[in-house]
Amino acid sequence: MTQTDFIAACFWPVVIAMALLWRAAREPAMRRWLAQCAFWVAIGYVLVLMVLNSYSLVALVDLYLLSVVAGCLFLWICLRSLSGRATHLTTRKSFYLTLLCGAGLVGFGIYTLFGDFVLRPLELEGRVEQVWTRGSRRQTYYARIAGQTVKAVIPDYERLSLLPVVRVEVGRGSNYIYRIEYLAN
């Protein structure tokens, strides 16, 4: 496990610890302080995860899980608005936009995670034919192996740029390389 994997793996335990601390606090002032701390820690971690997702598959999976959680939060806000308990969504347009965003985030995250962890991975074997990047700010790293285009994180991309003969397992949801076995050149 690399340092970036460790930082990304600590995201959900930190979220759970903050939620449990907030739940255990009895004083309103302490709850407000913990909520502010949790908010800033969450913002910091999300920014770190967005930077690290090019370096770590764990950070990538964390972002997919976070999209499911954020989508569920949007749907919960819509449900509370329908029951009359929340007044955040004052117009029909904002209600439908929140509902659409929530459903989209949940659908995207579940589709990707289901394809990566439930379906059988795509297995490719052969020489790496080409590697390239797309995007100027947030680059996505690609490799063409056995006629298929797949995505890679930076450490894998750097090794694949030598154009070795490999056997890879690719997640069907995200199309990222999850396992690489280097074969003889």
pLDDT at 65: 93
pLDDT, tens digit, 9 for 90 and up, residues 154-180: 999 999 999 899 999 999 999 999 999
Query: For position 125, what pLDDT does the model report?
Result: 95
pLDDT at 110 over 70: yes
Q: In what order do the strands lie in the sheet with 165-170?
A: 148-152, 140-145, 122-134, 165-170, 177-182
Write down the pLDDT at residue 149. Answer: 95
- Contact (Cβ atoms closer than 8 angstroms) between residue 148 and residue 122: yes
Most confident of 5-9, 54-58, 84-88, 168-172: 168-172
Task: State pTM to two decimals.
Answer: 0.84
Exposed / middle / buried, residue 95 (Cβ in 10 Å: 0-12, 13-18, 19+): middle
Contact of 22 with 38, CB cutoff 8 Å:
yes
122 has a pLDDT exceeding 90 = yes
Residue 87 has pLDDT above 70, yes or no: no
pLDDT at res. 185: 60
Whether residue 93 has pLDDT greater than 80: yes
Encode burial over 164-176: b for 16+ CB neighbours within 10 A, e otherwise: eebebebbbbbbb
Note the Cα 178 to chain centre separation in Å: 14
Q: Is the pLDDT of residue 90 over 90?
A: no
Q: For position 50, what pLDDT does the model report?
A: 76
Confidence band, pLDDT 50/70/90 cuts, at residue 103: very high
Task: Please state the rounded mean pLDDT for residues 23-42.
Answer: 88
pLDDT above 70 for 38: yes
